[in-house]
Structure 1
Amino acid sequence: MKFGMRKPSLKKSFKARTTGKWKRELKRSINPYYGKKGTGWITNPKKALYNKVYHKTTFSLFSLGKRKHK
């Protein structure tokens, strides 16, 4: 498990920002649970637990200036 700052990836950041609206709409029309909160615990609980711990123990370079919300 990683602790501390995550290494920024420009490739992944670009891909996340340019995923089209039509692609999300298509996925949502096929899978009604796509994009809903908490569905990771149903589909893959082991990965969901790992992701929860990972996001609590690491931080992004870009989030250093942002205020944390609960």
Structure 2
Amino acid sequence: MKFGMRTPSLKKSISARTKGRATRAVKKALIPGYGKKGMGWIKDPKRAAYNKVYNKTSFSLWDLFK
């Protein structure tokens, strides 16, 4: 489990803003429950719990500038 600042990755950041964004848009249009709040807890509760803790205990480099 990561505590503190996440390691920044330019490659992953660009990927999330281009291909990742397009993929999510297509999935959201085709799959009824995709992207809805709380669906992660139904699909994979163990992963959802891990992600909840991870996002509360780590922060991004960009969060420092907010």
Structure 1, gaps ≥5 residues long: none
Q: Which amino acid aligns with 2:34?
A: Y
Runs of 4+ in 1 over 2 A off after TM superposition: 19-26
Aligned residues: 66
Q: Percent identity?
A: 64
Within the alignment, does 1:53 sit opposite 2:61 as a pair? no
What's the TM-score once normalised by structure 1's chain length?
A: 0.80
Q: CA deviation at 1:28?
A: 2.1
Q: Which has the higher helix share?
A: 2
Tell me, which stretches of 5 or more residues in structure 2 are unaligned? none
TM-score, normalised to structure 2, is 0.85
Q: Aligned partners of 1:53 and 1:17: how far apart in 2?
A: 24
Q: Name the residue aligned to 2:34.
A: 34
Deviation at 1:24, TM superposition (A): 3.3
Counterpart of 1:19 in structure 2 is 19
> How far apart in 1 are the matches of 2:22 and 2:59?
30
Q: Distance in 2 between matches of 1:21 and 1:15?
A: 8
Instruction: Write the letter of the residue equivalent to 2:38.
Output: G
